[in-house]
Amino acid sequence: MMRFLLLFSRQGKLRLQKWFTVLSDRDKRKIIRDLTQMVLSRPPKACNFLPWRDLKIVYRRYASLYFCCGLEQDDNELLTLDILHRYVELLDQYFGNVCELDIIFNFEKAYFILDEFVIGGEVQETSKASVAKSIEEAESLQEVRQ
Amino acid sequence: MPAVSKGDGMRGLAVFISDIRNCKSKEAEIKRINKELANIRSKFKGDKALDGYSKKKYVCKLLFIFLLGHDIDFGHMEAVNLLSSNKYTEKQIGYLFISVLVNSNSELIRLINNAIKNDLSSRNPTFMCLALHCIANVGSREMAEAFAGEIPRILVAGDTMDSVKQSAALCLLRLYKTSPDLVLMGEWTSRVVHLLNDQHMGVVTAAISLITCLSQKNPDEFKTCVSLAVSRLSRIVSSASTDLQDYTYYFVPAPWLSCKLLRLLQCYPPPEDGAVKGRLVECLETILNKAQEPPKSKKVQHSNAKNAILFEAISLIIHYDSEPNLLVRACNQLGQFLQHRETNLRYLALESMCTLASSEFSHEAVKTHIETVINALKTERDVSVRQRAADLLYAMCDRSNAKQIVAEMLSYLETADYSIREEMVLKVAILAEKYAVDYSWYVDTILNLIRIAGDYVSEEVWYRVIQIVINRDDVQGYAAKTVFEALQAPACHENMVKVGGYILGEFGNLIAGDPRSSPLVQFNLLHSKFHLCSVPTRALLLSAYIKFINLFPETKSTIQEVLRSDSQIRNSDVELQQRAVEYLKLSSIASTDVLATVLEEMPPFPERESSILAKLKKKKGPGAVSVNELEEGKREGGELNGGGGERGGDNSTIAASNASTPSPSADLLGLRTGPQVSAAPPSAGSLLVDVFSEAGVNDDGFLSSAPPSAVSEDAAPPLPESNELLNKFVCKNNGVLFENQLLQIGIKSEYRQNLGRMYLFYGNKTSVQFVTFTTTVSCPGELHPQLNVQAKPVEPLIEGGAQVQQVINIECLGDFCEAPLLNIKFRYGGALQNLSLKLPVTINKFFQPTEMASHDFFQRWKQLSQPQQEAQKIFKASHAMDTEVIKAKLLGLGMALLENVDPNPENFVCAGVIQTKAQQVGSLLRLEPNAQAQMYRLTLRSSKDTVSKRLCELLAEQF
């Protein structure tokens, strides 16, 4: 299971943090600090995986944003790259040509979309159409009621 | 769906976020945030009721501020209000706020649970999903208590929408992980397993994560899932890339589900049913075949998804470890990846091959890739890939290729990244030992290791080489010759000096025949390094010198001269000085017979597990070194020390002294503790009692001093020194309570009124884990009604070098004299350790200081003038009579130290009230030092006689 997902910029600014286990604020801050430092200092074209404490770290850069998550030992690294990619696709589908600013100004949407895709660190729905459908349904619910 | 801000865009939020982004400095940002917080607070507190939209906007702003890293201490109530809104986006923001800022405020949790309950029963799938996401995000025990019964029902109900089922499955998984005792699958088991057959791929994808976790915990109850999983997998694997429509990802059919199915199968042994097994093997073969087909897309997503399945299939093949054909095919496939242009694949192939190397079917196949792996070690640009290559070389090493691999690793060490050097050193040391056929190669390797990476050679490594040299007489001469040569280098690492000193001290005689390495040459060589070394090394060299005196009488006068020099005999370091003094004395008064007995060659070490292996295991964390490997290490270690066993007869004494160090790894040579000679047979030592009066600085633990047979399962009686330990903490609350060779117990405590909280820190000083670690705190006899002590349970396992914490809550009900007992039991290397200590809880901990003027003090003093209210002691000072120290101690006692009260400025007076639940006991203290006589008179008066008496007893020990 995925333990956490972090999105941060090339300057090390955190854009999204999702924790799938209970951690103290102190531990969270430490993880964020350690990982942004570690990942940002890696050379380009380096391997997307690295061992860290008892976790496997999988990260990938999309434009100016790094998507970085911590996995347990029996998780599949390559599949996790696909999870990150699918998440980016979902964001892209929702925002249309998503960029970092979309996530800054609509951070709550980024969280909602993630919730439709991953729950408790496990993938719940892999179909792009299905996720899009639930989001659309919810949004239409909103419009009707307003 | 270009759907940004569909009517629910919050302009105020966007403006605020822009403002924050435009802040030029951290200060400006904080200022802007504080302004906003004040604004929101006033809106929330204002008389005007806020509409849902405003509430949503402000809650969202608070969330944004929190995610920026600032504390948020209000707004929870407003967020909870949003939960019951019937507008979706308002509800959604409310749930998001709750998920991110969980608050254990019980009142709030009740309200949140209420809102969730309403949404769960709303039959509106969108609301139900929101509620389920919230439960999964928070995952607290309270939520499990409230909903663990309801969710399985939602999951299996026929009329539940698919999307709700998916959320319910993963929500249940989260609750099961946090509170397994509350999630009872019982009657649902079979219906949950059958979700594997669900028509909706999304439902299967979500449910399988739950089923995998449940299967790991209850394999028998869920074993029917195996055949279902195989048939589902088979259908996916054989489907065309377009069959599964939206569940096809870059031309790969359902990669997530395939991987999860393969992962589920890894919870079980190979299927027993022949047909099921046949079908599975077919699937695995198909997956391996597909890897050879040309890619259907050039996109990296396509290859990632395809290879994710492939690696998961290989994991399953390795897990089964029973199909030689598949294992070899897997190995060949990984071999191809070793040279793939994608770094990720090379990394994973190296990692996966490590596990293949331990299978007997594929070990040989893995070995054929040795050149590629060595090349990877030399040329990979990414350190984490090189690390994997080193791991694989280690895993594929056996007798046939050990020399090549060790040589490659050694040469890599010269340029290796600092971050992995220590681990590499350990690995080289282990391999060299494990596969040493000829021990001169082993000695060469370790000395090379010290030469190349001396800083990274830990104690364990050089202890081990000495152990082995001592235990094998066929290599001793070679070792002496080699270290002698190595020491010739103008600059050699201190670890080399240590090994050299030790080996020449023991076996220098074996090369002394050659005039180029005559005794005096050897000594001068060693002594030329002396001044550049640290204290422990110098201490070791001094021991080597005294051994020289025994081995080569002709060096006696030279060495005595060195020992006698001021820089030795008056050395400011007490250990060095002591050794110099004692060795000098020993060499001048003991007869040659006595000298020969005391300084006899070290007897062989008892057979034990290589401490290096333990260290590596600790470094890599449990699981990193397979059990298999550990056992093998033990076996090989046994072989190595085989000679030691046979010669064990004449070393019974050393064996006995080793029994008092039950650690298989700590303190290998006894060097870390007292002088080396203290390891000499005690029978010989006793002849020299006068010479060695202080020498046997024996810091053997209290634990080990009790013979193991005397240890019973009952709590041990308190240690004799526990009263002393108790006294140490009368005037302070923090410190080290107890320490021996195995265990250190640190203590931190705080007291308020009649309550106290104590934190105990149990540190494992060894490199081996403590198991079944339990502690019990008890209040014996009369103490029981006076003190209420509750200890939180403590982790039953303490890893080597790790520390665990225990919290103890204390409530003082009435005044008391005794201290609570702490009993600690654990197993260390199989032997039960059992010790009892007194917990330093004394009556004065519950003092509240009371400030009062001189007049009041003496008035109260007089009020307490009944003879039984007073306790007095006159005693001799046992510490220097330093005013500041005395003041500090009195303050530590917990009373108020009153200035300008006593007419005699030399005297100290204090006042305080002891808070117990039953009553308060006012106490006054007067301490009159007499510097001339080095005596004190201590007087205590309090409203209760037992308190005066007890305080007086406690305090009399402090000054």
Chain A contact set for B255 (CB, 8 A): 79, 82
Instruction: Say what angle helices B556-564 and B535-551 make with each other, to 10 degrees.
Output: 150
Q: How far is B429 from chain A (nearest CA, A)?
A: 23
Chain-chain contact of B14 with A105 (C-beta, under 8 angstroms): yes
The answer on pLDDT for B649 being more than 70 is no
pLDDT attached to residue B894? 87
Q: How far is B576 from chain A (nearest CA, A)?
A: 41
Chain-chain contact of B21 with A104 (C-beta, under 8 angstroms): yes
Cβ-nearest to B246 among A78, A127, A146? A127
Q: What tokens does B468 get?
A: 């082995």
B896 vs A6, B294, B569, B856, B916, CA distance in Å?
52, 85, 49, 14, 18
Sign of CA dihedral B289, B291, B295, B299: positive
- A83: nearest CA in chain B? B256
Cβ-nearest to A49 among B209, B266, B347? B347
- A19: nearest CA in chain B? B137
Is B58 known as a binding-site position? yes
Q: How far is A27 from chain B (nearest CA, A)?
A: 13
A109-118, B613-622, B649-658 — most confident range: A109-118
pLDDT attached to residue B504? 94
> Between the CA atoms of B747, B748, B752 and B753, what dihedral angle is there, to the nearest 10 degrees?
10
Q: State CA B819 to chain mean position distance.
A: 31
Q: What share of chain A is helix, strand, coil (3-state, %, to 5)?
A: 50, 25, 25
Q: Which residues of A90-102 are buried (b: 16+ CB within 10 A; e: fewer)?
A: bbebbbeebebeb
Average pLDDT of A25-30?
91
pLDDT attached to residue B609? 64
- A60: nearest CA in chain B? B344
pLDDT attached to residue A38? 93
List pLDDT tens digits, range B663-720. Answer: 333 333 333 333 333 333 333 333 333 333 333 333 333 333 333 333 345 677 777 7
The answer on pLDDT for B476 being more than 90 is yes
Chain B contact set for A96 (CB, 8 A): 1-4
8 A C-beta contact, residue B789 and residue B824: no
Q: How far is B384 from chain A (nearest CA, A)?
A: 6
Residue with the larger pLDDT of the pair B628 and B181 = B181
Q: How far is B170 from chain A (nearest CA, A)?
A: 6
pLDDT attached to residue B103? 60
Q: How far is B826 from chain A (nearest CA, A)?
A: 26
Cβ-nearest to B344 among A48, A127, A146? A48
What's the mean per-residue pLDDT of chain B? 83
Is B53 known as a binding-site position? yes
Average pLDDT of A76-84?
95
B722 vs B661, B729, B821, CA distance in Å?
22, 11, 10
The answer on pLDDT for B945 being more than 80 is yes
Cβ-nearest to B246 among A82, A128, A139? A128
Cβ-nearest to A82 among B1, B69, B255? B255
List pLDDT tens digits, range B727-743. Answer: 888 888 888 888 888 88
What's the mean per-residue pLDDT of chain A? 90
Select the residue from B51, B170, B172, B297 to test the A interface by mutation, using most A Cβ atoms within 10 A: B170
Chain-chain contact of B1 with A125 (C-beta, under 8 angstroms): no
| C-beta atoms surrounding B342 within 10 Å | 17
Q: How far is B639 from chain A (nearest CA, A)?
A: 34
Chain A contact set for B132 (CB, 8 A): 119
List pLDDT tens digits, range B259-271. Answer: 999 999 999 999 9
Q: What tokens does B496 get?
A: 């080399």
Cβ-nearest to A51 among B5, B312, B384? B384
Chain B contact set for A127 (CB, 8 A): 201-202, 246-247
Q: Which residues pair with A70 in a beta bridge?
A: A4, A57
| pLDDT band, very low/low/confident/very high, at B313 (cuts 50, 70, 90) | very high
Q: Which residues of B513-544 are buried (b: 16+ CB within 10 A; e: fewer)?
A: eeeebbbeebbebbbebbeebeebbbbbbbbb
User: CA angle, corner B462, sides to B456 and B464, nearest 5?
Assistant: 130
pLDDT attached to residue B121? 92
| E strands in B140-269 | 248-249, 252-253
Chain-chain contact of B126 with A134 (C-beta, under 8 angstroms): yes
List pLDDT tens digits, range B68-93. Answer: 888 888 888 889 999 988 888 899 99
Chain-chain contact of B301 with A122 (C-beta, under 8 angstroms): no
ipTM above 0.90, yes or no: yes
The answer on pLDDT for B633 being more than 50 is no
Chain A contact set for B131 (CB, 8 A): none
Name residue, tokens 């046994």: B638
pLDDT attached to residue B546? 93
User: CA angle, corner B762, sides to B761 and B766, nearest 5?
Assistant: 140
List pLDDT tens digits, range B486-512. Answer: 999 988 899 999 999 999 999 999 999
Element (H or E) spanning B772, and its range?
Answer: strand B770-778
Collect all residues with Cβ–Cβ distance below 8 Å to B364 and sequence separation of at least 6.
none
DSSP helix/strand/coil, B491: coil
Chain B contact set for A102 (CB, 8 A): 4
B168-172, B356-360, B378-382, B856-860 — most confident range: B168-172
Select the residue from A18, A109, A127, A137 to test the B interface by mutation, using most B Cβ atoms within 10 A: A127
Is B60 known as a binding-site position? yes
pLDDT attached to residue B261? 97
Q: How far is A13 from chain B (nearest CA, A)?
A: 9
Chain B contact set for A119 (CB, 8 A): 132-133, 136, 167, 170-171, 174, 206
Count chain A–chain B contacts defined by CB atoms under 8 A.
187
Select the residue from A93, A125, A145 to test the B interface by mutation, using most B Cβ atoms within 10 A: A125
List pLDDT tens digits, range B545-563. Answer: 999 999 999 999 999 999 9
With pLDDT > 90 as the criterion, what percentage of chain B qualifies?
A: 41
Cβ-nearest to B205 among A82, A120, A123? A123
Element (H or E) spanning B911, and its range?
Answer: strand B908-915
DSSP structure string for B567-584:
HHHT-SSHHHHHHHHHHH
| pLDDT band, very low/low/confident/very high, at B458 (cuts 50, 70, 90) | confident
Chain-chain contact of B136 with A119 (C-beta, under 8 angstroms): yes
Q: How far is B304 from chain A (nearest CA, A)?
A: 5
Cβ-nearest to B8 among A17, A136, A142? A142
Chain B contact set for A108 (CB, 8 A): 60, 63, 92-93, 96
Q: What tokens does B933 get?
A: 């006589």
Q: How far is B215 from chain A (nearest CA, A)?
A: 15
Chain-chain contact of A120 with B246 (C-beta, under 8 angstroms): no
Chain-chain contact of A123 with B167 (C-beta, under 8 angstroms): no
B22-26, B636-640, B734-738 — most confident range: B22-26
The answer on pLDDT for A98 being more than 80 is yes
Cβ-nearest to B301 among A82, A93, A126? A82
DSSP structure string for B840-894:
---GGGGEEE----HHHHHHHHHHT-SGGGEEEEEEE-SS---HHHHHHHHHHHT
Span of B290-304, B315-329, B632-646, B909-923 with lowest mean pLDDT: B632-646
Select the residue from A42, A57, A78 to test the B interface by mutation, using most B Cβ atoms within 10 A: A78
pLDDT attached to residue B95? 93
pLDDT attached to residue B437? 81
Element (H or E) spanning B304, and its range?
Answer: helix B300-320
Chain-chain contact of A94 with B133 (C-beta, under 8 angstroms): no
The answer on pLDDT for B802 being more than 50 is yes
pLDDT attached to residue B10? 80
B495-509, B620-634, B764-778, B929-943 — most confident range: B495-509
Cβ-nearest to B67 among A78, A106, A107? A107
Chain-chain contact of A141 with B88 (C-beta, under 8 angstroms): yes
Chain-chain contact of A124 with B202 (C-beta, under 8 angstroms): yes
Is B57 known as a binding-site position? yes
List pLDDT tens digits, range B516-532. Answer: 999 999 999 999 999 99
Region of residue B717 (phi > 0: left; psi between -120 and 50: alpha; otherwise: beta):
beta
